[in-house]
């Protein structure tokens, strides 16, 4: 609860700062009611306070569920890597089947966001938070699918012995992808734009590991046949894409806090 309060407080403080710097409301004569615009038209009154309390309770629930799902995906990335390296077929099957629950949870969260948009008509920070949440939910669901794809790759590679160098690179890619996702989810929960901004730089290491792994594949033509080489190249791509999803979550956090949409090149 304290983390959620800090998160909301940080985002609202930043929003007020932006409004002050842009002079929003600075030209309104003292004493003029805020519910009137420049032409004298009445601006709709905000919903009654009980409804707003319910809205923010639902928003807190969405945020908590997103954090829970993101934490699960963070652990699943490491688990999938272990499954692949140990060639544990039974655990691979369990993780593949369990992905249906993540898909269902993400779908329910998305529906909740739609309801909040339709019934509460949020504006400013609240609107940005819901829009960002919907995008982050999609990134989590896709990352969970990629972790499952690692398990499926493990089944396709079953029985193949990998060189220690390649096993080490797979382990490092899994650890870095998990680290990126953890940083992204914590930045979201805390509303920390500075931390979110650093995720793009952290992703460069994962990209470098991906390139090194592909190079190792080409340097081992005598020990790896073509079908296995293709599977290994696709496997490396799964980790690289998880990193990209983590970067996108970081960009959504920046959007919520600052109101600006950024894109890493």
Tens-digit pLDDT profile for residues 146-181: 999 999 999 999 988 888 999 999 999 999 999 999
- Summarised one tens digit per residue, pLDDT across range 25-69 is 444 444 444 444 455 556 555 555 665 678 788 888 999 999 999
Q: What is the mean pLDDT of residues 73-77?
A: 97
* Rounded Cα–Cα distance for residues 34 and 171 (Å): 58
- Which band of pLDDT confidence, cut at 50, 70 and 90, is reported for residue 78? very high
Is residue 226 a part of any domain in this protein?
yes
Number of domains in the chain: 1
Name every residue whose Cβ is closer than 8 Å to that of residue 69 and which is 6 or more positions away in sequence. Answer: 102, 105, 106, 109, 137, 140, 144
- pLDDT given for residue 2 in this prediction: 44
Q: What domain range is 81 assigned to?
A: 48-258
Q: Which residue has the higher pLDDT, 122 or 70?
A: 70
Is residue 134 a part of any domain in this protein?
yes
pTM, full prediction: 0.78
List, in sequence order, every beta strand (DSSP E) within the chain: none
* Rounded Cα–Cα distance for residues 53 and 88 (Å): 48
- pLDDT given for residue 41 in this prediction: 59
Is residue 34 a part of any domain in this protein?
no
Is residue 199 a part of any domain in this protein?
yes
Whether 180 contacts 243, CB under 8 Å: yes
- pLDDT given for residue 175 in this prediction: 97
- Summarised one tens digit per residue, pLDDT across range 183-225 is 999 999 999 999 999 999 999 999 999 999 999 998 886 778 8
Whether 42 contacts 109, CB under 8 Å: no
* Angle between helix 226-258 and 2-21 (nearest 10): 60
Q: Is the pLDDT of residue 19 over 50?
A: no
Q: What is the mean pLDDT of residues 111-124?
A: 88
Tell me which range, 15-19, 51-55, 75-79, is most confidently predicted by mean pLDDT.
75-79
CATH number assigned to the domain comprising residue 78 = 1.20.58.220
Q: Which residue has the higher pLDDT, 126 or 92?
A: 92
Whether 151 contacts 80, CB under 8 Å: yes
Across-strand partners of 42? Answer: 36
């Amino acid at each position: 609860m304290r983390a959620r309060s800090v998160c909301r407080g940080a985002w609202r403080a930043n929003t007020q700062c932006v409004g002050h710097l842009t002079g929003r409301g600075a030209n309104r004569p003292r004493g003029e009611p805020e519910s009137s615009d420049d032409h004298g038209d009445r601006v709709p009154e905000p919903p009654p306070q009980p409804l707003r309390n319910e809205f923010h309770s639902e928003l807190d629930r969405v945020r908590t569920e997103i954090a829970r799902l993101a934490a699960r995906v963070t652990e699943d990335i490491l688990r999938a890597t272990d499954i692949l390296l140990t060639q544990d077929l039974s655990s691979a099957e369990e993780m593949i089947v369990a992905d249906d629950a993540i898909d269902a949870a993400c779908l329910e969260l998305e529906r909740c966001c739609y309801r909040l948009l339709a019934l509460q008509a949020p504006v400013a920070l609240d609107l940005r938070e819901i829009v960002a949440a919907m995008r982050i939910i999609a990134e989590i669901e896709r990352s969970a699918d990629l972790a499952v794809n690692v398990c499926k790759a493990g089944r396709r590679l079953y029985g193949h012995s990998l060189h220690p160098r390649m096993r080490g690179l797979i382990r490092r890619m899994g650890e870095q992808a998990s680290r990126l996702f953890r940083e992204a989810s914590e930045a979201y929960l805390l509303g920390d734009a500075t931390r979110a901004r650093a995720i793009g730089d952290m992703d460069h290491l994962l990209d470098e590991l991906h390139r090194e792994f592909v190079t190792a594949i080409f340097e081992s033509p005598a020990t790896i046949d073509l079908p296995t080489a293709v599977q290994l190249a696709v496997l490396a791509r799964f980790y690289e894409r998880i990193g990209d999803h983590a970067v996108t979550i970081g960009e959504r956090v920046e959007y919520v806090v600052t109101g600006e949409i950024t894109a890493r090149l």
